[in-house]
Amino acid sequence: MTSRDVVNVVQRRLPRKTKVGHAGTLDPLAEGVLVLGVGPAVRLVPYVQQQPKHYLATFRIGSSSVSGDLEGDISEFPDLPIPTREQLEQAARDLTGQIEQVPPAHSAIWINGKRAHQRIRAGETFDMPSRKVEIHALNITRYEFPEVDLDVICGSGTYIRTLGIDLAVNAGSTAVMSFLCRTGVGPFVIENALSVDVLREETLDAHLLSPSLAVQHLPQIEVTADDAQRLGHGLCLNEVEFIDSDRMIDQDVSEAAAITPDGQLRAIVRLKRGQWCPHRVFPTFSASS
């Protein structure tokens, strides 16, 4: 099942022409959390993608494939040295923080107007551009050669396949990914996730979450009913009060979430010439409507 398949399941359960979008593709091999935006909340998908992602993954040391996972032909390299746990942990430390990463060629990245995996299947050869990604945490939770389990917290755009392979390469070997589960994206965690069967069978209204969860990482300002009305008319606010002013210390804030007293997201606002002006405005409604 692809991420688009899940979107289609939800879209068929909703009134015609209701928009549905997902916040970050999961490879068919992977399982776990897929955050969906419904209706006006589709415009919040980019903000969900800004939040840290949590993964659990398993890699097989001493093996490789063109795709980096079990979907490609597997090659074994029994003559490569067997890394020690200490070597792998040192490699994990070296791969923590902001790193340069080359995405796998078998990926959905656009290269000159075409998906990389489509170019590969067409027999084309090309260089994948590198990108900077943020690895907040990379921990080895189990190592029983040839398998190693990783617990990863990372920023948007990180390829876990590449991260595990780089870990093995830095320890003198190579690897393929055999398992991947996304256990969370920001506040959206697997313990609260719904199965596809639930999406197919139960009423969806009861499972819709507050749009404010999508922007909990942004500074928040509380707006009055009058302020909310002004934002709805496209007007700017001259004075605002941040809900958690402690988060504002030493921060150069230019974007914030405008929250009503009852906790609803009214708008994403941006600072322009000393005023906070609406960038994206949302209808106010309860989480179950």
Catalytic residue among 27, 69, 166, 227: 27
Question: Among 100, 121, 119, 98, which residue's Cα sits nearest to residue 109?
Answer: 119
The amino acid at 25: T
Q: Residues 144, 82, 137, CA angle at the centre, nearest 5°?
A: 60
Q: Which residue has the tokens 């398998």?
A: 147
Residue 261: count other Cβ atoms within 10 Å of its Cβ.
10
Instruction: Find residue 152's DSSP bridge partners.
Output: 55, 138
Question: Among 204, 203, 239, which residue's Cα sits nearest to residue 221?
Answer: 239
Helix axes of 160-170 and 85-94: crossing angle, nearest 10 degrees: 120
Token duo for residue 255: 């974007």
Q: What is the spatial distance between Cα 96 and Cα 154, in angstroms, rounded to a whole number?
A: 9
Strand duo 53-61 + 175-185: pairing = antiparallel
Is 226 labeled as catalytic in the residue annotation? no
Residues 6+ apart with CB under 8 A from 74: 63, 64, 65, 176
Token duo for residue 5: 């398949």
> 226 burial class (0-12, 13-18, 19+ CB within 10 angstroms)?
exposed
Strands (E), 120-190: 131-144, 147-154, 175-185, 188-189
Q: Which residues form the catalytic set? A: 27
